[in-house]
Structure 1
Amino acid sequence: MYIRRPRILILTAGYGEGHLQVSRALEHSFRSHQVHHVQIVDLIKEAHPILHSVSTKLYQMSSVSSQFGFDYYGWSYYATRDYNPAGSVQRYLNSIGRRKIQELIKQSRPDAIINTFPFGAVTEMGKEFSIPAFTVITDYTLHSRWIHPDTAKYYVATEDLKNELIRYRETPVEHIHVTGIPVRPAFHETSAASPPVHEKDKASSERVLIMAGSFTVFHHITELVHILLEQGHCEMDLVCGRHDKLAHKLNSLFPDHPHVHIYGYVEHMPERMAAASCIVTKAGGVTLSEALVLELPAFIFKPFGGQERENAIYFTEHGLAKTSYDAKELGEQICRFLSSPGAKERMGHRMAGMRKGAAAELIVEDILSSLDQQNLHMAYPSEVLKR
């Protein structure tokens, strides 16, 4: 029982869908706890619309430019990864959005602020207004931008990331909770209703789910499909998302093929993932977390420099995924995987061991408990509580 129903402000950024999906998963969990004063704000978009427009375009273009050796996003990521959180560069970056945050705090009067994107200004303004700021790290790797000394608590994906955070500037262990990365509730519901991949009926046809929209070069998709048709003996679901031209081109190349199924935007992605034997996807933290919840082995193709490459390295090193850098290698990896039931079992069991539960629920319950304790201390002085 919580003393009162708090107001929650969640700050995010629209670089890809991941940060926003995490924010919405947290909002859903708060509402399930009867906390209805929850506001999600894309801080960069609201505070600096021109900067948001330019930076979003550059972020989208980086995936294409990196294919031709001009990986400016990856370069900037690695150049700033180990910066001192108290240094001059970080202080400048932490100034972004300060005025807008102050305005939001005065308008919504939140009891807690949650970062799903590394905004240092949020933590600083929270301290100024005596509002705890919580940070949800949305990848499997650490970057200095996430770190701020006044953070009330960090919520991280793995024990490895927790240990890295402890070593980095000696963050107190009690400020870090290993919860996993929040995903949409539908993934947990589907996981509970479906058997893990490695326990499915062996007589059923192998099905490869290919997120075609994550490929930046068209011929890589067609090359992979041809390899799997020649060697894989499997069904293929190619999901193009909102890339209508891509879906049209693929339909023209594989018209009515009995083993190639092409889709545009898919509403019920958890069910489609649960029906697959493996997934070919990019290495976003949220996407990999969705696969983890469903214990769905992942094949990562040409991860972009920065957090995606680091996520891919982590999953590959821990036997949760395979990473490749050309379509032939990718096709061969999938064919070997499909022909080896033991590979599916080993990877599935490792993924099951990584799961911590419903991350959004774990985070929300901990935040509400922290606010509850804070309210108790405000209502009763510490010397009274000690009696």
Structure 2
Amino acid sequence: MKRSPKLMILTASYGEGHIQAARSLQQRLYSEGMKDVSIIDLMKEAHPLLHSITSTLYLKSTKSSKYGLDYYGWTYYMTRDTKPDGTWGKAFNYLGRKKLKEIVELERPDAIINTFPFGAAPELGREHGIPTFTIVTDYALHARWFHPDTYKYYVGAPELRLEMALKGFKPERIEVSGIPVREAFHQTASIPAVRSGITERFDKEKKLVLISAGSYGVLHHLDQMIYTLLEAGGCQLAVVCGRNEKLRQRLEATHGYHPHVHIFGFVDRIHELMAASSCIVTKAGGLTLTEALTLRLPIFIYKPFRGQEKENALFLQAKGAASIALSADDLAAQILQFLADPEIGRAMKRGMSFLPSGSAAETIVKDVIRSLESRLLQSV
């Protein structure tokens, strides 16, 4: 292309996954020479009050679901097969439309990239002659991702491409790219593990179990889990609390004295910690799972929340790449069995072979650029 195109990435801050995918794409676009790339948190920009309410409800739903009030899971399954021209579809596609129209008419981007299912984007794109590219950031399909005006889709596994084709989508409009994660994960996966400042404290003779327990963490019985694994012996634990400082302080007070329990707050270089681990206990968000898959790190999922997390977990369990536990005792038993039998880990890594090789961000970005160049040539 004679000039660097102007690209707009739409995302939403419900959890970190959609934002992280957007940033990974932006960095890759920069590395490919694209200079004008913006990221817009559309719900936050267009509906700040609604965004505040819904993001709070999203967080609280992970807590209330254990008491039987699973409103997020209920709405997920209720709207899973809605049509774009149906009542729910029209309502979803209206979200952010007015604000996005203002931005599009002001900025005049050459392409819009969705890392969150905004139906308003392909509709406005059609009206303004702007192609819209959508990255599905889960291993399960939901109707909200689909819109007939989307120029191209990028999915994480061949099964999703087949499922979309069976729903009537043109196969040539669906690319099995993988889900974009930070380049650091691909770099770490391609080189031998090295000891760094964050991993220097670990005992080289003991296997490391990594537990993600931050604000979107997975364990309601974290203390029980820690005690059970320590009693069995033969391993050490790294517990990551993210930005949940209250949890970090509590765990430091109760377990910080133990030489084989390592408590962390937010870890920027989490890829190094994951690379040093034998397995990870984590939530079932699409990005988090893809980070583990990229590093071929065996995955244990505890009580996945109904909705896309449960569907992600079931997909990976069917592949043999992850194990689901519905109680703390079952989870501890699964991990202890994994630590005692190396073949379990090897089998889980074989189950990860479905993941496309290479960087998803690179695959997507190069394909978007080719598509724009092709459209430009056709218009000449």
Give the TM-score, by structure 1 length.
0.93
State the one-letter code of the partner of 2:27. H
Offset of residue 51 of structure 1: 0.6
Asked whether the equivalents of residues 209 and 278 of structure 2 are also in contact (C-alpha less than 8 Å), the reply is yes
- For the pair 1:22 / 2:16, whether they are aligned, the reply is no
Distance 2:205 2:192 in 1: 15
- Between stretches 3-12 and 350-359, larger displacement belongs to 350-359
Match of 1:41 in 2: 40
Asked whether the equivalents of residues 112 and 131 of structure 1 are also in contact (C-alpha less than 8 Å), the reply is yes
Aligned sequence identity (%): 48
Offset of residue 89 of structure 1: 2.0
Distance 2:212 2:192 in 1: 21
Match of 2:200 in 1: none
Match of 1:104 in 2: 103
Match of 1:189 in 2: 187
Match of 2:318 in 1: 317
Match of 1:262 in 2: 263
Distance 2:247 2:30 in 1: 38
State the one-letter code of the partner of 1:181. I
Match of 1:91 in 2: 90
Offset of residue 30 of structure 1: 0.4
Asked whether the equivalents of residues 256 and 263 of structure 2 are also in contact (C-alpha less than 8 Å), the reply is no
Distance 2:117 2:127 in 1: 18
Query: 1:44-59 counterparts in 2 under 5 A?
Result: 44-59=43-58
Match of 2:249 in 1: 248
Distance 2:132 2:334 in 1: 43
Q: Describe the SS at the equivalent of 1:113.
A: strand
- For the pair 1:305 / 2:303, whether they are aligned, the reply is no
Q: Describe the SS at the equivalent of 2:37.
A: strand
Offset of residue 113 of structure 1: 0.3
Offset of residue 127 of structure 1: 0.2
Offset of residue 217 of structure 1: 5.8
For structure 1, list consecutive stretches of 5 or more residues without a partner in the other structure: 197-202, 380-387
Match of 2:74 in 1: 75
Asked whether the equivalents of residues 3 and 372 of structure 1 are also in contact (C-alpha less than 8 Å), the reply is no
Asked whether the equivalents of residues 191 and 294 of structure 1 are also in contact (C-alpha less than 8 Å), the reply is yes
Distance 1:265 1:89 in 2: 37
Q: Describe the SS at the equivalent of 1:354.
A: coil
Offset of residue 129 of structure 1: 0.1
Match of 2:12 in 1: 13
Distance 1:217 1:323 in 2: 13
Query: 1:283-362 counterparts in 2 under 5 A?
Result: 283-362=284-363
Match of 2:201 in 1: none
Offset of residue 241 of structure 1: 1.0
Asked whether the equivalents of residues 13 and 19 of structure 1 are also in contact (C-alpha less than 8 Å), the reply is yes
- CA distance 1:210–1:85, change in 2 (3 Å): same
Asked whether the equivalents of residues 62 and 72 of structure 1 are also in contact (C-alpha less than 8 Å), the reply is yes
Offset of residue 339 of structure 1: 0.6
Distance 2:361 2:84 in 1: 27
State the one-letter code of the partner of 1:83. T
Offset of residue 232 of structure 1: 4.3
Runs of 4+ in 1 over 4 A off after TM superposition: none
Match of 1:64 in 2: 63
Distance 1:366 1:29 in 2: 12
Offset of residue 355 of structure 1: 3.3
Offset of residue 162 of structure 1: 0.6
- Between stretches 229-238 and 50-59, larger displacement belongs to 229-238
- CA distance 1:16–1:150, change in 2 (3 Å): same
Aligned-pair RMSD on alpha carbons? 1.4
Distance 2:354 2:85 in 1: 36
Asked whether the equivalents of residues 93 and 120 of structure 1 are also in contact (C-alpha less than 8 Å), the reply is yes
Distance 1:64 1:237 in 2: 23
Distance 1:191 1:119 in 2: 32
State the one-letter code of the partner of 2:270. M
Q: Describe the SS at the equivalent of 1:135.
A: strand
For structure 2, list consecutive stretches of 5 or more residues without a partner in the other structure: 195-203
Match of 2:197 in 1: none
Distance 1:52 1:145 in 2: 17
Q: How many residues in Structure 1 have an aligned counterpart in Structure 2?
A: 370
State the one-letter code of the partner of 1:165. M
